[in-house]
């Protein structure tokens, strides 16, 4: 067993960039070089342009903006706006899923694939389920789900899933999220010119807006996606660019909303479409994915993962991509011009993400079947336009077992349970592994790539370090894809673990890095932490568990960080969230918030030190528990 190294990733990328040069293609590597060094004011978060008296930049000579706002107010407001952007984005994705559920029909393109889960959530929300048609219930729940975005009174329904202690903290600190849209709006209101400039107030609202994402919009996205498309179970797949097949029509799905990617997969599998592809000279159709939508279809269908965020251009550079089909979020506008250098069709589908140089096929739940069919057909018909001299697919892929939803983890770990003593169907077997020290703890590895960090190295090196120290990894988003591409989701990766974790991997037949899904699925991690706390009688903040986003880049990632911290889990970042300009804001985020929510951030750009800090934190928590 051998991992694929970052050096090998990079060599493959170099070769693809050579192809790019032949056709005059641009790439992020060149653009990043032209954008660095970055503006220092922006990096420190000390530039304010929220009113037309500015922009104001804080320097030792000019310590206040024209309105008199100091650096802490400016940095804090910028941080809150950043969070609101992320919370809005994840949550709107969740809302789209609710809409899709509202359109589900027994004979329509969208069906209820996990009725049991739907009934479970309905009961939780106090909705009568007895004797109700499952589709009537789906529509009722979808409507209620959408109402969570604008509920007039009260807080998010899902908060009740948290342990009592956590709920009390949220109430006490006045950060229990109300209507999701309200928290986003309120954040924009607070950070308007002439509203809040008090650091505590701005950071408190950042936590609340984050919580409206993690325990509101993202959780709705995850839960109702499971209802619609099935709750993930362990499934085999493959990862890295080598999953594309030169003889086949290659369709790449990119973005976030499984409503689109599920339909594309459905039609690419249609015998009629496959026959058509053969007629057009291909051997078949291969769908692969990039970014979070790839995680969604990998977990539910075993669709292979071509790459993560910073590989999105590579997919086109293979010269073998007939269509890259996108919905929303994390899509490089560069894909338009890049596709024009090849035969690739760049297909946008959402009114929310419209870009130049794209073919826009508007996708909606009512006409999803026809839309998907049209897109698959377009890709097939494009096969003949390939330029064979430009085709090069790096021969590089790894096996991966993905699909570890909370439900799947609980079920899988029953495999290590001692049926004499352990309660099956709970997180207790996992707790037993942790308390006995066979596993020292867990790290939730999440987030993006960022050119500021050598892509994928931080994810992969940290994971290797953790598993060697008997710390199990739960991964999502582009972090999960980095792991899969390297081979860390191959069950054979147990060879890289410490003796304890290796034994658990063998007994439970799992890889040491568990794929938990897309970024909205970090809500699954919150549920797992809540279950572990409830099953152990501990507070979430006492568990030897930390979160880590070593290469993050998006507003969504900051929203996530805020809700993970606000849930009581220490969070480690490898990229600074533009707060270094204010010692007060930095102090609040890295220490101050601990007094409110029992957890805080650590920012450390040296990846090795970041890893040491996580291990130290996990061991500290163990010592405090006397385990």
Three-state secondary structure call for residue 252: strand
Binding mask 449-468 for ligand SF4 (x = CB under 6 A): --------------------
564: which residues sit within 8 A by CB, 6+ positions away? 214, 444, 522, 525, 526, 547, 571, 599
Paired sense of beta strands 345-348 and 359-360, if any: parallel
| 93 token code pair | 């994705």
| 301 token code pair | 């269908």
Which position among 240, 261, 554, 559 is part of the footprint of ligand NFS (CB under 6 A)? 554
Does residue 298 bind ligand NFS (CB under 6 A)?
no
By CB under 6 A, the residues from 40 to 99 that bind ligand NFS are none
Binding mask 69-108 for ligand SF4 (x = CB under 6 A): x----x----------------------------------
In 477-575, which ranges are E strands? Answer: 513-517, 545-549, 571-573
Binding partner at 394 among ligand NFS, ligand SF4, none, C-beta below 5 to 8 Å by kind: none
Which position among 17, 23, 32, 67 is part of the footprint of ligand SF4 (CB under 6 A)? 67
Binding partner at 292 among ligand SF4, ligand NFS, none, C-beta below 5 to 8 Å by kind: ligand NFS
**Under rule CB under 6 A, how many of the chain's residues touch ligand NFS?**
14
Query: With respect to ligand SF4, which residue has the nearer C-beta, 193 or 615?
Result: 193
Percent helix, strand, coil in the chain, to 5, is 55, 10, 35
CA distance 593 to 169: 12
CA distance 527 to 166: 12
What are the angstrom distances between the C-alpha of 110 and each of 173, 225, 442? 41, 11, 36
CB of 473 to ligand NFS, least distance (A): 15
Which position among 273, 380, 453, 519 is part of the footprint of ligand NFS (CB under 6 A)? 519
CA distance 263 to 477: 21
Query: With respect to ligand SF4, which residue has the nearer C-beta, 127 or 195?
Result: 195
With beta carbons less than 8 A apart as the criterion, state whether 234 and 514 touch. Answer: no
CB of 617 to ligand NFS, least distance (A): 23
224: which residues sit within 8 A by CB, 6+ positions away? 94, 97, 98, 100, 101, 141, 142, 145
Omega cis (within 30) before 337? no
Which position among 54, 337, 451, 498 is part of the footprint of ligand SF4 (CB under 6 A)? 54
Does residue 394 bind ligand NFS (CB under 6 A)?
no
CB of 196 to ligand SF4, least distance (A): 12
What are the angstrom distances between the C-alpha of 218 and each of 213, 245, 374, 481, 561? 5, 34, 30, 19, 13
Among the candidate windows 63-71, 255-263, 333-341, 565-573, which touches ligand SF4 by CB under 6 A? 63-71
Query: With respect to ligand NFS, which residue has the nearer C-beta, 78 or 481?
Result: 481
Does residue 55 bind ligand SF4 (CB under 6 A)?
yes
Q: Is the dihedral of CA 487, 489, 491, 497 positive or negative?
A: positive
CA distance 363 to 399: 32
Does residue 524 bind ligand NFS (CB under 6 A)?
no
Does residue 22 bind ligand SF4 (CB under 6 A)?
no
Q: What is the DSSP letter of 496?
A: G
In 557-615, which ranges are E strands? Answer: 571-573, 601-603
Binding partner at 65 among ligand NFS, ligand SF4, none, C-beta below 5 to 8 Å by kind: ligand SF4
CB of 9 to ligand NFS, least distance (A): 16
CA distance 408 to 77: 40
Which position among 249, 291, 497, 529 is part of the footprint of ligand NFS (CB under 6 A)? 291
Does residue 49 bind ligand SF4 (CB under 6 A)?
yes
By CB under 6 A, the residues from 29 to 48 that bind ligand SF4 are 48
Three-state secondary structure call for residue 474: strand
Q: What is the DSSP letter of 608?
A: H
CA distance 209 to 132: 35
Which position among 182, 397, 494, 556 is part of the footprint of ligand NFS (CB under 6 A)? 556
CA distance 576 to 558: 10
Does residue 369 bind ligand SF4 (CB under 6 A)?
no
CB of 45 to ligand NFS, least distance (A): 20
Does residue 23 bind ligand SF4 (CB under 6 A)?
no
Among the candidate windows 103-111, 484-492, 553-561, 581-589, which touches ligand NFS by CB under 6 A? 553-561
Q: How far is CA 78 from the centre of its chain?
A: 22
Which position among 66, 424, 616, 624 is part of the footprint of ligand SF4 (CB under 6 A)? 66
Three-state secondary structure call for residue 42: helix
By CB under 6 A, the residues from 177 to 196 that bind ligand SF4 are 193
Paired sense of beta strands 571-573 and 359-360, if any: unpaired
By CB under 6 A, the residues from 240 to 279 that bind ligand NFS are 256
Does residue 328 bind ligand NFS (CB under 6 A)?
no
Binding mask 329-368 for ligand NFS (x = CB under 6 A): -x--------------------------------------
Does residue 484 bind ligand SF4 (CB under 6 A)?
no
Omega cis (within 30) before 157? no
Q: What is the DSSP letter of 217?
A: I
CB of 217 to ligand NFS, least distance (A): 12
| 615 token code pair | 């291990």
Among the candidate windows 156-164, 453-461, 524-532, 549-557, which touches ligand NFS by CB under 6 A? 549-557
How far does the chain reach from its first CA to its final CA, in angstroms?
33
By CB under 6 A, the residues from 93 to 112 that bind ligand NFS are none
Q: Which residue has 């609040």 as its token pair?
A: 588
Among the candidate windows 2-10, 15-23, 420-428, 552-560, which touches ligand NFS by CB under 6 A? 552-560
Which position among 50, 235, 599, 618 is part of the footprint of ligand SF4 (CB under 6 A)? 50
Among the candidate windows 171-179, 550-558, 596-604, 617-625, which touches ligand NFS by CB under 6 A? 550-558
Binding site for ligand SF4 (CB under 6 A): 48-51, 53-56, 65-67, 69, 74, 193
């Amino acid at each position: 067993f051998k991992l694929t190294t970052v050096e090998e990733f990079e060599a493959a990328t170099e070769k693809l960039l050579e192809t790019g040069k032949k056709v005059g293609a641009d790439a992020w590597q060149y653009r990043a070089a032209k954008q660095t060094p970055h503006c220092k004011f922006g990096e420190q978060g000390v530039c304010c342009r929220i009113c037309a008296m500015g922009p104001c930049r804080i320097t030792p000579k000019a310590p206040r903006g024209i309105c008199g706002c100091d650096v802490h107010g400016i940095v804090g407001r910028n941080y809150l706006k950043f969070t609101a952007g992320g919370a809005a984005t994840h949550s709107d994705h969740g809302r789209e899923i609710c809409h899709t559920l509202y359109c589900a029909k027994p004979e329509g393109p969208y069906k209820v694939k996990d009725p049991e889960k739907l009934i479970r959530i309905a009961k939780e929300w106090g909705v009568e389920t007895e004797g109700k048609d499952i589709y009537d219930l789906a529509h009722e729940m979808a409507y209620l789900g959408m109402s969570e975005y604008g509920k007039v009174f009260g807080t998010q329904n899902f908060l009740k899933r948290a342990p009592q202690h956590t709920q009390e903290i949220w109430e006490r600190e006045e950060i229990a999220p109300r209507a999701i849209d309200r928290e986003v709006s309120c954040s924009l209101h607070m950070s308007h010119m002439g509203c809040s400039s008090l650091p505590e107030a701005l950071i408190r609202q950042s936590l609340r807006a984050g919580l409206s994402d993690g325990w509101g919009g993202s959780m709705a996205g995850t839960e109702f996606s499971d209802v619609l498309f099935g709750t993930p179970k362990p499934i085999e797949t493959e990862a890295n660019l080598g999953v594309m097949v030169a003889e086949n029509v290659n369709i790449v799905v990119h973005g976030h909303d499984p409503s689109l990617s599920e339909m594309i997969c459905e039609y690419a599998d249609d015998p009629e479409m496959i026959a058509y592809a053969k007629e057009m000279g291909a051997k078949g159709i291969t769908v692969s994915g990039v970014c979070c939508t790839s995680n969604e279809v990998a977990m539910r269908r075993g669709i292979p993962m071509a790459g993560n965020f910073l590989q999105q251009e590579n997919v086109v550079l293979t010269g073998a991509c007939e269509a890259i089909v996108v919905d929303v979020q994390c899509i490089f506008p560069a894909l338009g011009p890049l596709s024009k250098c090849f035969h690739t069709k760049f297909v946008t589908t959402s009114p929310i993400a419209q870009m130049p140089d794209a073919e826009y096929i508007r996708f909606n739940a009512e006409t999803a079947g026809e839309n998907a069919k049209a897109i698959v057909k377009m890709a097939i018909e494009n096969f003949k336009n390939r330029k064979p001299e430009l085709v090069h697919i790096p021969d590089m892929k790894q096996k991966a077992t993905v699909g570890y939803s909370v439900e799947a983890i609980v079920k899988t770990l029953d495999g290590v349970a001692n049926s004499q003593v352990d309660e099956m169907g709970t997180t207790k077997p996992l707790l037993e592994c942790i308390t006995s020290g066979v596993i020292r703890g867990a790290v939730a590895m999440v987030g993006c790539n960022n050119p500021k960090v050598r892509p994928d190295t931080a994810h992969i090196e940290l994971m290797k370090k953790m598993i060697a120290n008997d710390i199990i990894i739960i991964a999502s988003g582009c972090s999960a894809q980095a792991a899969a591409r390297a081979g860390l989701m191959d069950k054979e990766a147990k060879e890289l673990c410490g003796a304890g974790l290796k034994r658990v991997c063998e007994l439970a037949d799992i890889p040491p890095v568990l794929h938990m899904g897309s970024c909205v699925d970090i809500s699954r991690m919150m549920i797992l932490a809540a279950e572990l706390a409830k099953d152990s009688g501990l507070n979430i903040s006492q568990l030897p568990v930390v979160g880590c986003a070593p290469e993050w880049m998006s507003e969504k990632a900051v929203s996530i960080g805020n809700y993970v911290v606000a849930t009581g889990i220490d969070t480690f970042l490898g990229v600074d969230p533009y707060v270094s300009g204010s010692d007060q804001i930095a102090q609040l985020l890295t220490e101050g918030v601990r007094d409110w929510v029992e957890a805080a951030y650590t920012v450390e750009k040296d990846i090795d030190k970041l890893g040491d800090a996580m291990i130290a934190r996990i061991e500290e928590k163990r010592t405090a528990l006397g385990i």
